[in-house]
Amino acid sequence: MKAVLPVLGLLAIVGAWWLATIVFRVDPFLLPSPGDVAGSFLELPGYLLEQTLVTSWEAVAGFALSVVIGVPIALLVVGSTVLERMFYPLLVALNAVPKIAVAPLVVVWFGFGIGSKVLMVVLVCIFPIVISTASGMRSTPNELVELFRSLAASRAHEFFKLRLWHALPQIFVGLKVSITLAVVGAVIGEFVGARAGLGYVISTSGASADTSLAFAAMALLAVVSVVLFYALVLLERKLVPWAEERRVV
């Protein structure tokens, strides 16, 4: 039942789009109809799915790497005022640089292969993860911190048995923001220089004026984003069942 409404919404939008292309007789070069897009996909399904896998892999690898790097950075930042003062402003400044401006440089450094794409993904993903983890750990209620102190808990206990757990719901907020950005990051990387991936498909289809192919690739990108996002939502429900009842402290 829960799936009915989103499907209905999607059908309504696709229907309106299709209707618009027929009623206004839009040139398929400008706006292909959903039928043209589906046709494009069916011409090269194997190839497109392969490119989808390439982009998904880049996004997932970069995302995983961001978690592996980002969470420890947050731990260090929360754990040490000195480190925070030294590096936090730098991190903010780094994040303020438009990633698209860095992309050509990243490709120059890491080449046309997957390395440069994964790095692009890390660049866009890591900041939300660091911020959400750090702020989640900082917002641990004072009472719980006092409880741990009254038990003569070590810093390690305080961080790994209390703060990190307390931060989990907020970490997931950051993860959900990051996972959608991950796909964007991968595509930016592919735009700038690649030999595979959906971003590559889109940029080459522009050169050959194949608009429906570009649309098919975009639709696949959307599917990838949605699938990854909801995979995280499922994981969250499994890992953080208490978060829906946050009244308890």
Return the structure tokens found at 199: 């971003």
List Cα–Cα distances, 205 to 49, 153, 202, in angstroms.
16, 60, 5
Which span (34-42, 111-119, 121-129, 237-245) binds another protein, by CB under 8 A?
237-245
DSSP line for 28-56: TTTS--HHHHHHHHHHSHHHHHHHHHHHH
Indicate whether 238 belongs to the interface with another protein (CB under 8 A).
no
CA distance 19 to 97: 41
**Number of residues forming the site for another protein (CB under 8 A):** 24
How many other CB atoms are there within 10 angstroms of residue 69's CB atom? Answer: 15
Binding mask 168-207 for another protein (x = CB under 8 A): x---------------------------------------
29 vs 242, beta carbon nearer another protein: 242
Listed ranges 24-32, 79-87, 127-135, 149-157: which one lies at the site for another protein (CB under 8 A)? 149-157
How far apart (Å, rounded) are the C-alpha atoms in residues 212 and 219? Answer: 10
As a whole number of angstroms, the distance between CA 220 and CA 200 comes to: 13
- Helix orientation angle between 198-207 and 45-79, rounded to the nearest 10 degrees: 130
In single-letter form, the type of residue at position 203 comes to S
Nearer to another protein, 5 or 245 (CB): 245
Task: Give the span between the Cα atoms of 82 and 132, in whole angstroms.
Answer: 20
The reply on whether position 44 binds another protein by CB under 8 A is: no
Residue found under tokens 């719980």: 144
Stretch that binds another protein, among 47-55, 89-97, 128-136, 143-151 (CB under 8 A): 143-151
Nearer to another protein, 2 or 238 (CB): 238
Residue 170 beta carbon to another protein: minimum distance, rounded to whole angstroms:
13
Which residue number, 46 or 245, has a Cβ lying nearer to another protein? 245
Among 157, 222, 227, 237, binds another protein (CB under 8 A): 157
235 makes contact with another protein (CB under 8 A): no
User: What is the binding site for another protein (CB under 8 A)?
Assistant: 141, 143-144, 146-153, 157, 161-162, 165, 168, 240-242, 245-249
